[in-house]
A and B are shown apart, each in its own frame.
Chain A
Amino acid sequence: MIKAILIFNNHGKPRLIRFYEYFAEDVQQQIIRETFHLVSKRDDNVCNFLEGGSLIGGSDYKLIYRHYATLYFVFCVDSSESELGILDLIQVFVETLDKCFENVCELDLIFHMDKGGFSAAPARAVSAVKNINLPEMPRNINIGDINIKVPSLSPF
């Protein structure tokens, strides 16, 4: 299960936060800070899995993240999720955003928060994605021979 979806920028400013379990506001901010701290000091060429976010869950939980231009997309999931699957999911999510807002930039996420009922978007993307057959998605990064099309995120 996905426990939380955090999107923040290179400075740790939250851009879209969704917890699927209740945490008080200050705890949420602490989680965001800690996650940012963990994620931001990692090189771009290391693996995208992180264990040891101590605030959410325990050993069963992993942080799976991707870094696009100025944004970090972090999913906190437990062991019932496939790690590579979640990476694909993030990719699809970003592409969905790209499609919805044409050339996604950080500010789309805040400006259109009301427009798309935005915080619900991750959940929608999940359900949408789960209808798609994985092999049919041409940008699937876990199928080696096809190029990744990373949406061009203009730096703000």
Chain B
Amino acid sequence: MALKIVKGSIDRMFDKNLQDLVRGIRNHKEDEAKYISTCIDEIKQELKQDNIAVKANAVCKLTYLQMLGYDVSWAAFNIVEVMSSSKFTYKRIGYLAASQCFHESTDVIMLTTNQIRKDLSSPNQYDTGVALTGLSCFVTPDLARDLANDIMTLMSHTKPYIRKKAVLIMYKVFLKYPESLRPAFPRLKEKLEDPDPGVQSAAVNVICELARRNPKNYLSLAPLFFKLMTSSTNNWVLIKIIKLFGALTPLEPRLGKKLIEPLTNLIHSTSAMSLLYECVNTVIAVLISLSSGMPNHSASIQLCVQKLRILIEDSDQNLKYLGLLAMSKILKTHPKSVQSHKDLILQCLDDKDESIRLRALDLLYGMVSKKNLMEIVKKLMLHVDKAEGTTYRDELLTKIIDICSQSNYQYITNFEWYISILVELTRLEGTRHGHLIASQMLDVAIRVKAIRAFAVAQMATLLDNAHLLTGNTQRNGICEVLYAAAWICGEFSEHLEEPMATLEAMLRPKVATLPGHIQAVYVQNAAKLFATVLRGQEGVPADSTVAQETSQLLIDRLPLFVQSSNLEVQERASCILQLVKYIQKLQQKDVEVAEEVTALFAGELNPVAPKAQKKVPVPEGLDLDVWINEPPSGSESEDEGRKSKGKAVFAKEESRHTKPRYTEVDEKELAKRREVRKAEQANNPFYIKASPSSQKVYQDGVGVEHIPVVQIDLSVPLKVPGMPMSDQYVKLEEERRERNKADKKKKKDKKKREKGEKGRRRRGDSGPESEEDITPAHMVDIVTEEMPENALPSDDDDKDPNDPHKALNIDLDKPLADSEKKLPVRSHRPDEVLKSPMEDRQVVEVVPEPKKKTGKEKKDRKKSKEKKKKHKQEEEGDLMGAGSEEPVQPEETKEVAAPPPASTPEASDLDFWLSNAPVPSNPQAAAAPASTPRTASGMAAVAPDSEPEEAKDTEPEETKSSTHKKKKQKKEKEKKKKKHHHNHSDGAGDESVQNGTVEEEEPLPPMSNYALLAENSYIKMMKQDADKVCDIQGNLQDGSQVVVSVIFENKCDSFIKSMEFNVLDSLNSKLQRPDGAGPHDGLIVPFQLPPGISNEARFIFSVQNIVMPQKLKGTLTFIVKTDDSSTHEKLDFKLHFTCTSYLITTPCYSDAYSKLLESGDLKGCSLKLEGVNQPFHHLLARICFHHHFSVVERIDSCASMYSRSIQGHHMCLLVKTADQTVSIDAKCDEPGLLGNVLDEIKLTFSQC
């Protein structure tokens, strides 16, 4: 064995490490892939070895290879092995590899759950840290669910290093397991005020990230964040918070008003550009959310624009870019303030940096008005000509179209100009946006009736010059416009001056080189044109020859399309060809056909809105998911049958030429047949020939190949003859405006208020006023798009259903229900519920050794619930023993346990905060209103009787003192507010106080369920009888169990070991012992105690009868080990099982509670306590705490409470108090138990 190890380590010396690998790869530049594949083979060998160091080295190399793009998922299991190494250096390599290559579908991830849990609870903070870092990269829903509790515990770790990581990873957990958000949120919120700035900033980051997606759920945090913003000096945190406010303000305009002042201050004071920029951004968001008419904010806008101008003018390209970016946000609501910087923005269009040019383009979009549209577009057209890269030119093209078509062509006064711009754009070589131009052409031609004549003329010219567009058929994106041109000419052919010429242009042989869908449109529209020509000609009887010539033209040219390989073209062409042939026959008989032919294309097409199809309501009674015909039952097998049949068919086909008796076919025959086949193929036009020589297929000589294709160099934009240039329109427009102005002056008094009322459906509100006196050149009717009747216009269908953040849209202000206080667990391990006591104990046994404590999160959770009830001091002792179990601070427990009195007070807090008084003039003062609600609660705490609800806030004391002075100043105001609060919460009290244990108004005196059990000079035993029973699901069994937690504390300076716990069983109660142990055997306490240490052990007893309290005698034996000797010692104790210990805290809803009382099965009993001078809520808390009751409902000084025994007895209490007298009416279906419990309650109060 030893030899093997030595041999292994010698072998290792010759293994390649990562450096060698890297060096090797660099040295094998030529055959890198080959070298790496040999390396991977070596790694595979190394992974097979037992030595963990070798494995870790191999995994390390794999991680590097993974970065280079090699798939290493095959080594996933080895990575898990290395992860589980106890040595940190290896563990880290393992986690690194896992974080690089594990993902949700890696199946070995399932194996890692326990390992990760072990590492998370490791005493070494770096183990925990590396596990957290790794987990954040590969957390799956399963892992998130299983580990959420552990990570939540780590959020209160003593080391900020761990806390910070735990807080950050919670975000990933929320994403994967949204149910954890609500239970974890209170703690996350606490971390906002963590003393460590790193943890604080982590919490801010997580909450900001959450709030960004679902801002409205986080509105109630605004006061807290406001406080942080005004107090923090950490710019990273500030940036995040300010960004968050940017997301919140649209939801709450009042928040915006509050923010403006401090933000402006920050803008003035900060020297950090990043912070300045974010402030400006948020101020913009605020201004957007506020109604724009507010006069006092124009200063803020000016400030923003001014600061942004500084940014844009800066020589740093980054600042310039960001300035433009922010500017575009202002533009949306305050276009005027941006428009004054037009010069600057146009200047940016000439910047050498493409990103900046693109941003400037975005800005132009909002800066156009009717006045300057032509001018701006002209400038852009110049850029188009100059632009060298196609991407930027394409971007320009889309921007031009965007700018012109925005808000339903609002700014276009002259559509002739726009059409000619579009036509000019078609001359761009190699653009991808042909279809965009085409759709614009179609849209304008269809929707603007007045422009059709002009558009048709332009399109006809385009068709005539089609060869210019299709010059380079390889990159024929632009030929899409021909699609539009052909369609427009056909559809609106009545506007054509020379339909004959256009028809001829559309039937040129060259057309056959266009893509199929365009050819199809050509063919179809040729028919439309034909109809027009016929109609035009038949009016003039002398010219009937022209009509016949047209028919002849079609008959001559269409066969070319009939041969098209495109089905659509072929079909349409042959259809129309037959039609024309028939018409020709009629023409020869001098029959008037024009009417009939035109009727083929009668009727007008209306534009349809893009979402119209989606909005068509499904008719009633139509279920789209139902089968129309029942699917054939044996579809599976039939499919197979068909497949095999198909095969058979193919097989048959193959052998067709060789005839059935193929075995007898001789060589000669075969050769002959080959000849025949070749001849057959040669004649078949659909057979693709192998040799290029047989390319000539078409007999008619109009083959495409014969037309010489001239490559035209289009570096200089071509002027298409006869086409008006858009520039002309600019001049014309100017002249026209001059004229208009002159006209206007004459009719000034009349027309002043009249807007261009002709048919404009949309009148932009944001558009500059001045443009209103520009009347469009044409009477323009923009037809709106059609929508189905009763369809509602809405944009809600744009949301991505796969967004993981959708699941995180959870109301966080709602109080946690009892069932939610702990993390929910999907019952993926139902067997654990009914675990035998034996197993139970094993779990308990491993408590002191955190690393054994794996996989039983259920038990852990039980434990932690119990823990919440313990007193803090006890918990500290507990912590040392229980190791991984994190103490839950009492305050915290209260916050979690006490139902926050619904969201109303919180919401009103926010209202109060928001509505509160004048905006403070400096950040310091700004903090004051943020804390005022808290002040109010502080005061309420002093007088709990008058203001019970408000005091729920977490740290009343702190704020009370610090804001004392301010409080006085604001007292007047608050008094009013308080009244409101009081009424409000009283009203809400009925529902809000339901169903929780008790709500705590102020820190309660420490309470402990631990009682001293026995003590001697060596050891002290404290016991608590826990109310936990194995069955929490409600189907209680006969053999109910009681868990007793005992804390052993070593009081001497020697080591205590071999502790044995034994109890004399009574008839009624028995200690649960492991199988095989006799009834008198003791239980071994699963730990040893070093001096001064305490630890907790749990023992399970089964109880028959729970009506009576009982006492059990027991002994603890142990060995005290000193340096030189060891002595056996013994300690006797008495275990007292009170009836209370058989009760389980069970929440109950008031309606169920009243039903229970109505049933009449319960027998009553009552009790009076005199001289109790505790506040009522203390009293309730005591009953809840010591006797396991929960408050069902509380009204003023009267409360109903509920509990249930482990055997299912219901127990109801009605507690009233008046002048130091407490009366308790109780009802239970087991009078004996009730009597005993009441006695115990009495005892509790007599003790204090």
Contact = CB atoms under 8 A, between A and B. Distances in A.
Interface string B142-170: 00000000000000000000001100100
Interface stretch (B201-209, B399-407, B846-854, B1176-1184): B201-209
Contacts of A50: 355
A17 B22 CA distance: 16
A134 B235 contact: yes
Contacts of B237: 130
B271 A135 contact: yes
B70 interface: yes
A46 B236 contact: no
A120 B92 CA distance: 10
Interface in A79-99: 80, 82-85, 87-88
B68 A47 contact: no
A151 B356 CA distance: 28
Contacts of A117: 92-93, 96, 130
A113 B56 CA distance: 13
A9 interface: no
A110 B22 contact: yes
B239 interface: yes
Given A117-B92, A131-B201, A22 B104 contact: yes
Interface in B37-89: 60, 63-64, 66-71
B322 A143 contact: no
Contacts of B355: 46-47, 49-51
A133 B233 contact: yes
A30 B321 CA distance: 27
A18 B96 CA distance: 10
B391 to A, nearest CB: 9
A111 B202 contact: no
B322 A134 contact: no
Interface in B269-284: 271-275, 277-278
A26 to B, nearest CB: 7
B18 interface: yes
A131 B18 contact: no
A5 B202 CA distance: 19
B71 A25 contact: yes
Interface in A112-126: 113-114, 117, 119-120, 123
A46 B320 CA distance: 10
Contacts of B271: 135, 143-144
SS class, residues of chain A in contact with chain B: mixed
A10 interface: no
Given A20-B137, A111-B22, A134-B274, A87 B104 contact: no
A71 to B, nearest CB: 15
A59 B138 CA distance: 25
Interface residues of B, number: 62
Contact of B66 (A25, A88, A130): A25
Interface in A12-43: 14, 16-18, 20, 22, 24-26, 28-29, 43
Interface in B233-275: 233-237, 239-240, 243, 271-275
Interface string B342-381: 0000000000111110100000000000000000000000
B198 to A, nearest CB: 5
A150 interface: no
Contacts of B1166: none
B19 interface: yes
Given A22-B103, A25-B69, A119-B100, A1 B209 contact: yes
Contact of B235 (A1, A43, A45, A133): A133
Contacts of B202: 127, 130
A26 B69 contact: yes
A134 B93 contact: no
Interface string B110-139: 000000000000000000001001001110
B274 A88 contact: yes
B385 to A, nearest CB: 23
A129 interface: yes
B197 interface: yes
B220 interface: no
A54 B1052 CA distance: 70
Interface string B213-240: 0000000000000000000011111011
B318 interface: yes
B274 A85 contact: yes
Nearest to A87: B318
B329 to A, nearest CB: 12
Contacts of A87: 318
B318 A16 contact: no
A28 B71 CA distance: 11
Contacts of A88: 274
A36 to B, nearest CB: 13
Contacts of A25: 66, 69-71, 101
Contacts of A82: 239, 243, 274, 277-278
Nearest to B103: A22
Contacts of B234: 130, 133-134
Contacts of B239: 82, 85
Contacts of B352: 43, 46
A103 interface: no
A23 B356 CA distance: 31
B321 A49 contact: yes
B564 interface: no
A3 B353 CA distance: 25
B18 A114 contact: yes
Contacts of A24: 71
Contact of A83 (B63, B70, B318, B320): B318
Given A119-B100, A127-B202, A83 B317 contact: no
B307 interface: no
Contacts of B19: 111
Contacts of A144: 271, 273
A18 B97 CA distance: 11
Given A123-B133, A143-B273, A46 B93 contact: no
B99 interface: yes
Contacts of A70: none
A129 B237 CA distance: 11
B208 A80 contact: yes
A135 B269 CA distance: 12
Contacts of A143: 271-273
A134 B271 CA distance: 10
B135 to A, nearest CB: 12
B69 to A, nearest CB: 4
Interface in B775-814: none
B67 A130 contact: no
A133 B235 CA distance: 6
Nearest to A1: B209
B209 A80 contact: yes
A104 B1074 CA distance: 63
The 10 tightest CB contacts between A and B, nearest first, are A134-B235, A84-B274, A47-B317, A22-B103, A142-B273, A46-B353, A29-B69, A47-B321, A131-B198, A82-B239
26 contacts: A14-B68, A14-B69, A22-B103, A25-B101, A46-B353, A46-B356, A47-B320, A47-B355, A48-B317, A80-B240, A82-B243, A83-B318, A84-B318, A85-B239, A113-B18, A114-B18, A114-B93, A119-B96, A119-B100, A127-B202, A130-B236, A131-B198, A131-B201, A133-B233, A134-B275, A140-B272
Interface of A: 1, 14, 16-18, 20, 22, 24-26, 28-29, 43, 45-51, 80, 82-85, 87-88, 107, 110-111, 113-114, 117, 119-120, 123, 127, 129-131, 133-135, 140, 142-144
Given A47-B317, A82-B239, A84-B277, 17 more contacts: A18-B100, A25-B69, A25-B101, A29-B69, A47-B320, A48-B317, A49-B322, A113-B18, A120-B96, A120-B99, A127-B198, A130-B198, A130-B201, A130-B202, A133-B234, A142-B272, A142-B274
